[in-house]
Structure 1
Amino acid sequence: MSDFDSVIERYLAIWNETDPVARRAAIGETFAEGVRYVDPLAAVEGRDALDAVIGAAQQQFAGLVFSSGGPVDAHHDQARFTWHLGRPGEEPLVVGFDVAERDAEGRIFQVLGFIDHAPTH
């Protein structure tokens, strides 16, 4: 397991953290202050804005869990990885693909997200 694997594990754990105080603390440890997060549904900058996006996603997808969709492919300070969103033990409802870049301190400063599969209704 590379050090980027553990960064992505923390990244997915943050998306699953429902305690706002714990989630905000984890965001502070994992993401750079001016983090830029862009996916088809959001484009935000900063830890507070990212926290708000994650909180909104948790409300919208209550009861669903983010998990790894396969190995992390990383080189230098960038990684690409697939994630799943669904009920544990079931087929994922949503499959996505993200690219994350980290800074010299090892914090994620940019995430570019894509949705590969989502329900059509």
Structure 2
Amino acid sequence: MSDPNVTSDPSDPNAFVERYIALWNEPDAELRRKRIADLFAPDAAHFTPSQEVRGHAELEVRVTKAFDSWVRPGEHAFRAVRNANGHHGAVRFNWEMAHLASGEAVSVGFDLVLLDQDGLITSDHQFIDR
């Protein structure tokens, strides 16, 4: 189900990040696939310290695995830290994975994304701090 509180204003980096985070919390596989297409260029790359995925199909597998591991069981959700900023086709931001019962951040990270002329992610570098 689409989140009505998530705006798509590309001039607002925090709104962009809200859309990005909504992808990682999306329970519906079809909507998750649509969110990937709405955010990422077809040949986009996503890098973590331990993996590299390319293209929408591999991104879907990556996001689904994270969702199934952390969000689907009902104990955690990802949330944006409202500190995003961007310029010249790049956006950097922090995120947290929070324990739903306590609200405590159990994992925190930083992403740097590069965007094409249409505002789609071409490269996503994810750093996990904890």
Q: TM-score, normalised by structure 1?
A: 0.89
1:17 matched to which residue of 2? Answer: 26
Q: What is residue 90 of structure 2 aligned with on the other side?
A: 78
Cα distance, 1:18 vs. partner? 1.2
- For 1:10 and 1:83, the matched residues in 2 are separated by 12
- Cα deviation, residue 29, structure 1: 1.2
RMSD of aligned alpha carbons: 1.5
CA distance in 2, matches of 1:53, 1:42: 9
Q: Does residue 92 of the first structure (1) align with residue 101 of the second (2)? A: no
1:50 matched to 2:59:
yes
- 1:3 Cα deviation from its structure 2 partner: 2.9
Structure 2 stretches lacking a partner, 5+ long:
1-8
State the alpha-carbon separation in 1 of the partners of residues 16 and 120 from structure 2: 8
Distance, in Å, in 2 between the alignment partners of 1:41 and 1:94 is: 16
Q: Is the partner of 2:119 in helix, strand or coil?
A: coil
The residue matched to 2:21 in structure 1 has which SS? helix
User: Where in structure 1 do 4 or more consecutive aligned residues deviate above 3 Å?
Assistant: none
Contact 1:80 1:100 in 2 (8 A): yes
Contact preservation (8 Å) 2:14, 2:82:
no
State how far apart, in whole Å, the 1-side matches of 2:40 and 2:114 are: 10
Counterpart residue number, 1:4 = 13
- Count the aligned residue pairs: 117
* 1:91 Cα offset (Å): 1.1
Q: 2-side partners of 1:91 and 1:21: how far apart?
A: 30
Indicate the residue corresponding to 1:67 in structure 2: 79
Aligned-pair identity in percent equals 32
Kept in 2, the 8 Å contact 1:72–1:79? The answer is yes
User: Is 49-58 or 81-90 further displaced after alignment?
Assistant: 81-90
Unaligned runs of 5+ in 1: none
Q: Would you say the 8 A contact 1:69–1:83 is kept in 2? A: yes
